[in-house]
Amino acid sequence: MRIAVFGLGYVGAVSCGCLADLGHTIIGCDVSKAKVDLIKAGKPPIVEEGLPELLEKALSKGLLSATLDADEAIKNSDAALVCVGTPSTPSGGVNAVYLETVCRQIGEAVTRHNKTHYVVLSRSTSLPDIHRRLMSILEQASGRKMGEGIGYCCHPEFLREGVSVYDFYNPPKIVFGPTDAKTAEWCKGMYPTANHPGLKSCPTFFLSPEEAAMVKYADNCFHALKCTFGNEIGMICKTLGVDSHKVMDVFCADTKLNISAKYLKPGFAFGGSCLPKDLRGILDAARDTATKLPMLAGTLDSNEVQIKALLKRIVSEHRPKVGIIGLAFKEGTDDVRESPIVEVVQQLTGKGHPVKIYDEHLSVQALVGANRSFAFQMVPHLAELMTQNLQDVVSWADTLIVTHRLKPATWAAVSFKPGQRVVDLMNIPDLRKTGAGYEGLYW
Ligand SMILES: NC(=O)c1ccc[n+]([C@@H]2O[C@H](COP(=O)([O-])OP(=O)(O)OC[C@H]3O[C@@H](n4cnc5c(N)ncnc54)[C@H](O)[C@@H]3O)[C@@H](O)[C@H]2O)c1
């Protein structure tokens, strides 16, 4: 494959060396003469272990060149890997001006050089709206439609500076977000593991350009959050006279609940008898010792935001009768203590919305102790709102809020009303079949 690499900084320079090592012919392009001259000489413009050897090898095999001229780079390639910078604007937004310039140059040159199907891969990190804008710039500048002589692909980079050459050969994943089938086909040949024993195979995902873009942001937000979580646990441990590394070593050893996919899928607010209480306990200890834990404190605020956002969404449409399927803080229990959906019921009834509730594990008569007192303190007339018959709630409600998964056979036996609004907080496949009124919470 002949690939033009736009931007010869940290991402671009490593891409030049590694892609040439896989056998691709690379032409680097940058606006910086100093960087172009270094690549032309087979020398890295940045410090990165293993890169000098790769660039030297690529040059000696005739697989690497570089230019200041974008037109020349496009003329001598079938695809472009765009690695230009996307710095922050003064307000924190993504400055896409370098991306836009390069895409305009590519679009114009593709038609000027009569390319058959030119693939533009964006390695730079930018938001879904920017990718849409870049596709439109490419279409305007080339006079072609996506998939018809030109293709776009968001192809985020997950390599860590300092070990990026190692990461290239041992990738955690590869993500492509192509616009069309022809572009997707081209992408499949980019990392030929079969031809290169050093390149480890890894999970490869094909998504939409926008989804691929958000994977990169989700990754980096999570990494930042992990660092901050470790630091805040460190701070409170130190304050309380505990060795935080001993704590976090054990925390990290739990790959079932902690370092795992558990608790990570978008859904509704957390609740129950432990998480809110224990967070409050730690925050109280922090206050007592003047320790600031803004991220952990923000977790409780963020949880309230989830509840308010759901309420706003329910009342935004004038469909007053609200059916709730699942009142306990999660499925498989009758524990309603600090269940966020109890707060939703309290607010809705306070605003005058008629509410009916079905919960397969919950009988008001059987509630005892703290569970009973929380439920009745929040919603004193709870018993009048509850029914043991799921179909009753479904037939009665204008809007259904589903907070628990039920057995597929249970859903199959229920008759929904045509166009009935069904707000799914759990991403339940069976509910999607309910038709026009289905609304996923965040999907
Ligand atoms: N650095 C990383 O580890 C890393 C990891 C993943 C993603 N990213 C993303 O990749 C992108 C590049 O990051 P970087 O760290 O390599 O940036 P960088 O600043 O090191 O390199 C960007 C290069 O683009 C060049 N450039 C600017 N306009 C150009 C144009 N019109 N034509 C050709 N070249 C042009 C600049 O001269 C510079 O050499 C950013 O969007 C960044 O967020 C970076």
Quick: pLDDT tens for 43-63.
Answer: 999 999 999 999 999 999 999
168 lines ligand 1 (CB under 6 A): no
Instruction: Note the pLDDT of residue 436.
Output: 75
Query: Tell me, what's the pLDDT at 351?
Result: 92
Q: Does 25 have pLDDT greater than 90?
A: yes
Position 404: which residue type?
H
pLDDT attached to residue 276: 96
Query: Sorting pLDDT into bands at 50, 70 and 90, what band is 317?
Result: confident
List, in order, residues 6 or more apart from 110 with CB less than 8 Å away.
Answer: 74, 118, 142, 144, 149, 150
What are the angstrom distances between the C-alpha of 220 and each of 159, 226, 392?
A: 11, 10, 46
Distance CA 10, CA 258 (A): 32
Q: Output phi, psi for 169, to 5 deg.
A: -85, -15
**CA distance readout (Å), 271 to 190, 191, 259, 361:** 46, 45, 21, 17
Which H or E run contains 71?
A: helix 70-75
* Residues composing the chain: 443
pLDDT over 70 percentage in the chain: 100
Distance 7 CA to ligand 1 centre (A): 5
How many Å apart are CA 326 and CA 352, to the nearest integer?
A: 20
Ligand 1: which atom is nearest the Cα of residue 12?
A: 16
> Does 377 contact ligand 1 (Cβ within 6 A)?
no
Nearest-atom number in ligand 1 for the CA of 10 is: 16
Copy the structure tokens of residue 343: 């707060």
Atom of ligand 1 nearest to the CA of 11: 16
**Encoding tokens for residue 99?**
């991306």
Measured in angstroms, how far is the CA atom of residue 48 from the centroid of ligand 1?
15
Other beta carbons within 10 Å of 34: 9
pLDDT digits (tens, 9 = 90+) for 372-399: 899 999 999 999 999 999 999 999 999 9
Q: How far apart are CA 81 and CA 219, in angstroms?
A: 21
Cα–Cα distance for residue pair 45/47, rounded to 1 Å: 7
Protein residue with its CA nearest to atom 20 in ligand 1: 9
**CA nearest ligand 1 atom 17, residue:** 85
- Which one of 77, 83, 134, 167 would you pick to mutate in the ligand 1 pocket, going by the greatest count of ligand atoms within 8 A of its CB? 83
Specify the 3-state DSSP secondary structure of 143: coil
CB 29 within 8 A of CB 67: yes
- What is the rounded CA–CA span in Å between residue 29 and residue 66? 6
Instruction: Give pLDDT, residue 101.
Output: 98
User: What residues are annotated to the active site?
Assistant: 274
Nearest protein CA to atom 23 of ligand 1, as residue = 7
**173 CA from centroid of ligand 1 (Å):** 21
**CA angle 206–208–213, rounded 5-degree value:** 95
Q: Residue 78 Cα, ligand 1 centroid: separation in angstroms?
A: 21
Q: How far apart are CA 163 and CA 161, in angstroms?
A: 6
Tell me the C-alpha to C-alpha distance, in Å, between residue 11 and each of 62, 79, 206, 299. 21, 17, 21, 34
Identity of the residue numbered 360? E
Q: Is 352 left (phi over 0), alpha (psi -120 to 50) or beta?
A: left
What ligand 1 atom has the least distance to the C-alpha of 105? 31
Q: State the DSSP code for 19.
A: H
Verify whether ligand 1 is closer than 6 Å to residue 95 (CB atom): no
Q: d(Cα 441, Cα 422) in Å, to the nearest integer?
A: 10
Q: Which atom of ligand 1 is nearest to the CA of 46?
A: 20
What distance in angstroms lies between residue 381's CA and the mean position of ligand 1's atoms?
Answer: 61
Which residue type does 135 have?
M
Q: Look over the chain and give the mean of its residue pLDDT values, rounded to a whole number.
A: 96
Residue 95 and residue 58 in contact, taking contact as beta carbons nearer than 8 Å: no
Q: How far is the CA of 158 from the centre of ligand 1 (A)?
A: 14
pLDDT at residue 419 is higher than 80: yes
* Binding site membership of 122 for ligand 1 (Cβ less than 6 Å): no
